[in-house]
């Protein structure tokens, strides 16, 4: 069995790990960027993932498995698309995760892509909360939190212009 995440050292720089990706090739990422999902992710294998983005302003980022080079899921900050989005957790679950308020976690939702923009959707029912270096996928108890919320509903493509 080959090891896919290998520690590397580069002079005085902090320790990095290698992420093997069928989409992006071999990437060096800081070891502290690796998230542990103690309970895993719904429907996916593995516990170790990293968030990959081109820039801080990227609307979509990849939640990439550290152990499976073929497993990467697009995710987004839900408030970029749903300004009224709310997450409700039971007090026991919030306490278990160490969350006392919204500032305690970074929040992402998984995105289902499709050939047509109208078919892109986000899972608002099972958001991913990142607290420190741990990730937790939770079940949102809010009344309005669909599994497939359209991201670009009603978006009309502009007619192409002849040059």
Instruction: Give me the tens of pLDDT residue by residue for the chain, a chain 163 residues long.
Output: 223 333 334 444 468 999 999 999 999 998 888 999 999 998 888 899 999 988 888 899 999 999 999 999 999 999 999 999 999 998 888 888 888 877 889 999 999 988 888 889 999 999 999 998 999 999 999 999 999 999 987 555 555 444 4
pLDDT for 10 equals: 45
CB count in 10 Å sphere of residue 134: 16
Residue 76 structure tokens? 């987004």
Is residue 82 a contact partner of residue 149, using CB atoms and an 8 Å limit?
yes
Residue 96 DSSP SS3 = helix
Compute the Cα dihedral for 142, 53, 24, 50 and give only its sign. negative
Residue 60 pLDDT:
92
Q: Which residue's structure tokens are 């090891």?
A: 3
Return the pLDDT at 33: 87
What is the structure's pLDDT at 45?
87
Domains and CATH numbers, the chain: 7-150 (2.30.290.10)
Q: For residue 48, what are the β-bridge partners?
A: 36
- Look at residue 136 in the predicted model and tell me its pLDDT: 94
């Amino acid at each position: 069995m080959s090891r896919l995440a290998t520690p590397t050292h580069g002079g005085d720089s902090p320790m990095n790990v290698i992420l093997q990706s069928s989409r992006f090739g071999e990437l060096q990422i800081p070891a502290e960027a690796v998230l542990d999902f103690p309970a895993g992710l719904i429907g996916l294998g593995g516990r170790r993932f990293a968030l990959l983005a081109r820039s801080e302003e990227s609307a979509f980022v990849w939640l990439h498995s550290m152990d499976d080079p073929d497993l990467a899921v697009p995710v987004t900050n839900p408030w970029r698309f749903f300004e009224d989005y709310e997450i409700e957790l039971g007090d026991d679950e919030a306490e278990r995760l160490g969350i006392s308020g919204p500032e305690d976690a970074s929040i992402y939702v998984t995105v289902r892509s499709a050939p047509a923009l109208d078919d892109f959707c986000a899972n608002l029912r099972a958001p991913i909360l990142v607290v420190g270096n741990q990730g937790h996928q939770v079940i949102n108890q809010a009344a309005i939190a669909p599994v497939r919320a359209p991201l670009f509903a009603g978006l009309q493509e502009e007619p192409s212009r002849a040059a």
